[in-house]
């Protein structure tokens, strides 16, 4: 793990984690209602697993941020639909549809987007304050 040197590192890593979250939401939405010929091949929604990273260990931490530890498939069985005319239908005429809930994904996307924006605001504010500090004696 790279060391945390300042607020830019903290916010940057948090923004990167939210970007992974947004990418998984986009993947889930893109695969909503996708049909498959077998339950095993059906798309299952993805979720990032976050982990808090403490600089100096948990007890002595002066700074902390979050990282994505993994991206996992949710353990949801696909929906079985009888559609014998579908080209992917099995011998009994069933196709399997992903269990992506687009409403849940939109809520997750909104939350991830707001978290990303909050971190961007921290970086922007810090940058502005640093520029003001540098320019204090120049007026």
2-52: pLDDT as tens digits: 676 788 888 999 999 999 999 999 999 999 999 999 999 999 999 999 999
139: which residues sit within 8 A by CB, 6+ positions away?
Answer: none
Query: Which pair of tokens denotes residue 32?
Result: 């909503």
The per-residue pLDDT for range 92-122, each reduced to its tens digit, is 999 999 999 999 999 999 999 999 999 999 9
CA-atom Rg of the chain in angstroms: 22
Dist. CA 42–CA 78, nearest whole Å: 6
Does the pLDDT at position 137 exceed 80? no
Does the pLDDT at position 84 exceed 70? yes
Q: How many CB atoms lie within 10 A of CB 110?
A: 11
Q: What is the pLDDT of residue 5?
A: 76
More confident residue, 60 or 6: 6
Dist. CA 106–CA 50, nearest whole Å: 19
Whether 55 and 62 have beta carbons less than 8 Å apart is answered as yes
More confident residue, 5 or 53: 53
More confident residue, 130 or 79: 79
């Amino acid at each position: 793990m790279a060391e945390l040197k300042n607020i830019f590192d903290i916010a940057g890593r948090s923004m990167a984690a939210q970007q992974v979250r947004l990418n998984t939401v986009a993947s889930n939405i893109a695969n909503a209602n996708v049909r498959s010929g077998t339950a095993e091949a059906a798309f299952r929604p993805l979720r990032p697993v976050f982990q808090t990273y403490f600089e100096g260990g948990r007890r002595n931490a002066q700074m902390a941020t979050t990282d994505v530890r993994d991206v996992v498939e949710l353990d949801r069985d696909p929906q079985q639909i009888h559609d014998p005319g579908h080209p992917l239908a099995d011998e009994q005429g069933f196709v399997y549809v992903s269990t992506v809930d687009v409403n849940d994904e939109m809520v997750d996307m909104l939350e991830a987007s707001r978290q990303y924006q909050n971190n961007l605001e921290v970086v922007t504010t810090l940058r502005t304050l640093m520029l003001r500090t540098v320019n204090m004696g120049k007026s």
